[in-house]
Amino acid sequence: MKHEVIAFLGTGLMGEPMARNLLAAGYGVRAWNRSKEKACALAEKGAVVCDTAADAAQGANVLICMLSDGPTCDAVVFNDKTVLAALTPGATVIVMSSIPVETAVEQSRMSAERGFRYLDAPVSGGQQGAIDATLAIMAGGELDTFEAARDLLGAMGRPVRVGPAGTGQQTKLANQLIVANTIAAVAEALLFAERGGADPAKVIEALAGGFADSPILRMHGRRMTDETFAPGGAAKYQLKDTRTALARARSLGLELPVAHVVDALFASMVDHGDGDLDHSALIREIRRENNLPVSRKDS
């Protein structure tokens, strides 16, 4: 057993396999989730499943937050004084949720005021990356804090420190812009190929290894052609991230024209009731834009 005791808050689609990998690496995990049944399976792997976030934090020297958004992280961890008070003095708080940059900077300040170390360390790689412990982990914070947490983070994926507090979230927003824009480009290209008479599944095969190839073309392109849209990353969360990125861009005096168009497409997709589908289902919105049935099967 490693010497770190980890309070893991948020054991949903991503958090549960991340916590499993920490347990497999020998870390002690105290798990909490709003819906307790989502955490109970971890008990079979050796986790202590707790009734409250404060219970999970009791005696922990690392707290990992994998909750849905910034307001939720603030409400559960930083506004409820019982949670931080339950941690071991000098503990490290690692927020792995996708939250606004400004929120991460403020959380870092509040952590330091209470004598805790802080990293913002959002992830990319989806549920499969969480299962396989291959997540890209983008960490912002002090170098010594990152180095102390490197092995722990390494049990869940590939951690890289990108700068001071907040830059992990800045990098995640850059990641989400690339993902969102590429999904839109792949959706347009596959519909373009299909309407021109090509088999879109074969198009993906033909493009393999070329400059247009990418994990999004291979993985999400296949989802588009198979029309399998069970969420690995729900469209409503992709929209949350593009909105957050555009707000951050405005604060930096930047105009991101491509991101504006893609954000509008995701917003329309959510408005049409597809927000709980995988973000690769954006191809349904591209089809709507062209007055086509949302499913190829109905074309």
* 109 and 196, same domain (yes or no): no
Whether 168 and 138 have beta carbons less than 8 Å apart is answered as yes
Number of domains forming the structure of the chain: 2
Residues 39 and 108 in one domain: yes
Residue 242 confidence class, pLDDT cut points 50, 70, 90: very high
CATH number of the CATH domain containing 273: 1.10.1040.10
Q: pLDDT confidence of 297, banded at 50, 70, 90?
A: confident
If asked whether residues 175 and 211 sit together in one domain, one would say yes
- pLDDT for 181: 98
CB 149 within 8 A of CB 62: yes
Percent of the chain whose predicted confidence (pLDDT) is above 90: 88
Contact call for residues 8 and 29 (beta carbons, < 8 A): yes
Tokens describing residue 48: 């202590």
Res 284 pLDDT > 70 = yes
**250 and 214 assigned to the same domain:** yes
pLDDT for residue 49: 96
Domain boundary among the residues 130, 164, 198 is at 164
| pLDDT beyond 60 at 1 | no
Q: What is the mean pLDDT of the chain?
A: 95
CATH number at residue 37: 3.40.50.720
What's the pLDDT tens digit per position in 149-188? 999 999 999 999 999 999 999 999 999 999 999 999 999 9
Q: Span 209-235, mean pLDDT? A: 95
Q: Which of 126, 144, 164 is the last residue of a domain?
A: 164
Q: Across residues 100-119, what is the average pLDDT?
A: 96
Q: Is the pLDDT of residue 106 over 60?
A: yes
The CA dihedral of 40, 42, 46, 52, to the nearest 10 degrees, is -60
* 148 and 179 housed in the same domain: no
Same domain, 119 and 201: no
Q: Of 96, 80, 95, 87, nearest to 61 (Cα)?
A: 87
**Which residues participate in catalysis according to the annotation?**
172
The owner of tokens 């202590």 is 48
- Does position 88 have pLDDT exceeding 70, yes or no? yes
- The answer to whether residues 58 and 126 belong to one domain is yes
By mean pLDDT, which of 74-78, 82-86, 98-102, 277-281 is the weakest?
Answer: 98-102
Last residue within a domain, chosen from 118, 149, 164: 164
Highest mean pLDDT among 49-58, 120-129, 290-299: 49-58
Does 202 lie in the same domain as 149? no
Same domain assignment for residues 116 and 177: no
User: What pLDDT is recorded for position 266?
Assistant: 98
How many CA atoms, within 13 angstroms, populate the side-chain half-sphere of residue 98? 23
- Residue 3, pLDDT > 80, answer no
31 with 89, same domain: the answer is yes
Q: 157 and 10, same structural domain?
A: yes
**Domain housing 184:** 170-298
Same domain, 13 and 156: yes
For residue 81, the model assigns a pLDDT of: 86
2 pLDDT band, cuts 50/70/90, is low
Q: What is the pLDDT of residue 125?
A: 87
pLDDT digits (tens, 9 = 90+) for 37-84: 888 889 999 999 999 999 999 999 999 999 988 999 999 999 988 999
**Predicted TM-score of the model (pTM):** 0.88
Q: CA 264, CA 247: separation in Å to the nearest integer?
A: 14
